[in-house]
Amino acid sequence: MPGSPCGLLLDYKTAKFSLTRNRRVGLLHRLLQLSALGYLLGWVLLLRKGYQERDAAPRVAVVTKVKGAAPAGAAGRRLWDAADLTWPPQGENVLFLVTNFIATAQQAQGTCPESPSVLDAMCTEDADCPMGNPVVHGNGIKTGKCVIFNATRSTCEIYGWCPVENSTLPRKPLLAEAENFTLFIKNTVHFTKFNFSKCNTLQTSDPSYFKSCTYDPVFNPSCPVFRVRNMVEAAGEHFGDLALLGGSIGVLIKWDCNLDHPAAQCQPQYFFSLQDTRYNFRTASYYWGSQRQLYRNLLKLYGLRFDISVHGQTTRLI
């Protein structure tokens, strides 16, 4: 009987469909179906590769090496090579290539006039130079004396490294030939999820291969030897403009590998970008004179800083 427990168990329902001949409703219905299908095929499967596993956290190792030699412009007959021009020692993912410098030779600790380019050092009498005060943005400690710097200017006498640092910048980069130097970048990536490793260099037994090749994305993709000038131009700059005051270049090595394809097709792409238009730092070498006096040669180095970063991912069919 209707309403009884037995009747409820034996009842069943059937769906009734009606055909509506309305073009607008039919078009909207099909558009919704196509949108869902397009999202599934286009975004989930093709773009996001939802049918594949992904590893986007590789372990990375980078080794760099610079080759080349350049005469030091007007700074005598000295020749600078990779050991002189590269800071820090080669092998890091950040390196600095010297393109210009200002040298101050044979400095010793003592007293001397401060540079007139330092505003806090200008004086007309001793009272302008209180003893023991450091010179703001200067090179030493005031001795309490106002001394003659040249025929037209007087500055505070200081105790520090004398003579004070030379601040005259060459009009042209002294190491302009550094644009023809080459930078070798060896990069190894290991994707632990798939136990897959790849190096960006050609596996060859010929020791002369990397001495004669340069990188080309089509003809030499496994020769990561880059000419410095080409790297700067790829970053949208001219070497001569950056070489005078220095700059910073970002190097991005990007791996995007599909392990469903042969491993030989897994090759990185290289991208170069300008990070800063000025870069310099100071360094000094120390030695003892004949009278047991400590001396130093001070260099203010301008050049190109290369920051190398690696991003990568691999995918494989689930």
Q: Which of 13-17, 50-54, 58-62 has the highest mean pLDDT?
A: 58-62
Report the pLDDT value the prediction gives residue 41, as an integer from 0 to 100: 64
pLDDT greater at residue 40 or residue 143: 143
Q: Report which of 282, 276, 281 is spatially closest to residue 247, judged by C-alpha positions.
A: 276
**204 pLDDT tier (thresholds 50, 70, 90):** confident
Q: What percent of the chain has pLDDT over 70?
A: 85
Calpha distance 255→56 (Å, rounded): 10
Which range, of 20-24, 76-80, 303-307, averages the lowest pLDDT? 76-80
How large is the average pLDDT for residues 61-83? 71
For residue 43, give every residue at least 6 positions away whose Cβ sits within 8 Å of its Cβ, in sequence order, or none. none
For residue 143, give every residue at least 6 positions away whose Cβ sits within 8 Å of its Cβ, in sequence order, or none. 111, 129, 131, 156, 157, 158, 159
Report the pLDDT value the prediction gives residue 233, as an integer from 0 to 100: 95
Report the pLDDT value the prediction gives residue 62, as an integer from 0 to 100: 85
Q: Which of 21-35, 66-80, 155-169 has the highest mean pLDDT?
A: 155-169
For residue 269, give every residue at least 6 positions away whose Cβ sits within 8 Å of its Cβ, in sequence order, or none. 217, 253, 254, 256
For residue 304, give every residue at least 6 positions away whose Cβ sits within 8 Å of its Cβ, in sequence order, or none. 96, 97, 99, 178, 228, 232, 242, 243, 246, 247, 248, 249, 279
Question: What letter would DSSP give residue 237?
Answer: -
Residue type, 79: L
Residue 174 has pLDDT above 80, yes or no: yes
Residue 44 has pLDDT above 60, yes or no: no
Which tokens is 220 given?
């030499």
**What digits encode the pLDDT tens for the residues 102-159?**
999 999 999 999 999 999 999 999 999 999 999 999 999 999 999 999 999 999 999 9
Which range, of 40-49, 85-94, 176-185, averages the lowest pLDDT? 40-49
CATH topology for the 55-105+170-317 domain: atp-gated p2x4 ion channel fold (2.60.490)
**What digits encode the pLDDT tens for the residues 233-245?**
999 999 999 999 9
Which tokens is 261 given?
């394809």
Which range, of 33-47, 86-100, 262-276, 279-293, averages the lowest pLDDT? 33-47
Calpha distance 247→190 (Å, rounded): 32
Domains in the chain: boundaries: 20-50, 55-105+170-317, 115-162
pLDDT greater at residue 14 or residue 106: 106
Report the pLDDT value the prediction gives residue 66, as an integer from 0 to 100: 81
How large is the average pLDDT for residues 33-49? 67
**193 pLDDT tier (thresholds 50, 70, 90):** confident
Residue 8 has pLDDT above 70, yes or no: no
Report the pLDDT value the prediction gives residue 9, as an integer from 0 to 100: 64
Report the pLDDT value the prediction gives residue 206, as an integer from 0 to 100: 84
